[in-house]
Amino acid sequence: MSKQPIGIFDSGVGGTSIWKEIHALLPNENTIYLADSLNAPYGPKGKERIIELCVKNTEILLRKGCKIIVVACNTATTNAINYLRTNYMIPFIGIEPAIKPAALHSSTKTVGILATKGTLSSELFSKTSSLYACGIKVVEQDGDGIVQLIENGKLDSDEMRSLLKIYLQPMIDAKIDHLVLGCTHYPYLIPQLLELLPKHVKIIDSGEAVAKQTKSILKKNALLNNQISNPKNQFFTNTDLKILNSLLGNNYKVEYLDF
Ligand code: DGL
């Protein structure tokens, strides 16, 4: 069982930011990444539809023999992880916006969060936010359009820069000192965000924490692959291979899968 792959899925290519953290921490593990780019973005879809899509992705990863599933999408986690944990036997790791460390370290007592509508309006997010950001002003911003631009290969474009400028201004005006990235597509925007934000603003994302949590749950369940062999890393998308390829570099092969 320990040699079985770690399954990872996202609404598209953004979850590769999480795959990279997992691969760096657990280089011996076999992995399978599913990019459901055909259905991206999940953010504007309702909870029921997001659950349906997560079930579809989960079933594919289970058929491929995964021993654990990482839901590398904040929108999918905040809307569907409880459903998945209730209905399937294997462990699920989710990702949520890192409000807690941002709130804890904020001097201005004001933090910003950029996430999808689906994440910001979820019950799980409002619970986490009221639990950890008590006494802190949280400036929420729906990043509408950002995921679509990344999925369309416009990560580094004038359109992206203009959108980010519009989204960041209210946070800058409110004097945030931490910006929480609440979507796994957004770590790819860090160079542009750093250009647009005042120097003292810290950017926080949850990728490393997710990788650590994956390791700890594998260990707890005696599922760590301790064999030093040539791990297999497979990447599947249900649209064009180009964008996923461009984020992974030439060392990995991306395959088309109809799902
Ligand atoms: N990567 C997804 C997330 O973390 C993007 C969601 C979407 O497709 O809108 O939320």
User: pLDDT tens for residues 160-186?
Assistant: 999 999 999 999 999 999 999 999 999
CATH code of 23's domain: 3.40.50.1860
* CA gap 177, 200 in Å, rounded: 7
The 10 Å Cβ neighbour count of residue 198 is 10
pLDDT value of residue 210: 98
Q: Tell whether 73 and 10 lie within a shared domain.
A: yes
Q: Tell whether 200 and 243 lie within a shared domain.
A: no
Tracing tokens 């992705």 back to the chain, one arrives at 57
> pLDDT at residue 228 above 80?
no
Q: Tell whether 76 and 44 lie within a shared domain.
A: yes
pLDDT value of residue 55: 98
DSSP assignment letter at 183: S
User: pLDDT tens for residues 110-124?
Assistant: 999 999 999 999 999
Mean pLDDT score across all residues of the chain = 96
Give catalytic status of residue 183 as yes or no.
Answer: yes
User: pLDDT tens for residues 48-64?
Assistant: 999 999 999 999 999 99
Q: Is residue 1 part of a domain?
A: no
Under 8 Å CB-to-CB from 217, ≥6 apart: which residues? 68, 91, 93, 223
* Percent of residues, the chain, with pLDDT higher than 70: 100
Nearest-atom number in ligand 1 for the CA of 11 is 8
Residue numbers of the domain that contains 162? 99-204
Q: Which residues line ligand 1 (CB under 6 A)?
A: 10-12, 14-15, 40-43, 73-75, 116, 119, 147, 183-185
Length of the chain counted residue by residue: 259
Q: Tell whether 103 and 195 lie within a shared domain.
A: yes
Q: By the 8 A CB rule, do 105 and 172 touch?
A: no
> pLDDT at residue 230 above 90?
no
* CA gap 3, 171 in Å, rounded: 45
Q: By the 8 A CB rule, do 142 and 168 touch?
A: no
Ligand 1 pocket mutation pick from 8, 34, 73, 148 by most atoms within 8 angstroms of CB: 73
Q: Tell whether 200 and 218 lie within a shared domain.
A: no
Pick the catalytic residue from 54, 66, 134, 183: 183
Instruction: Write down the pTM of the prediction.
Output: 0.96
Q: Tell whether 183 and 142 lie within a shared domain.
A: yes
pLDDT value of residue 251: 87
**Residue in 145, 182, 138, 186 with CA at minimum distance from that of residue 162:** 145
pLDDT value of residue 47: 96
pLDDT value of residue 250: 81
Q: Which residue has the higher pLDDT, 2 or 89?
A: 89
* Percent of residues, the chain, with pLDDT higher than 90: 96
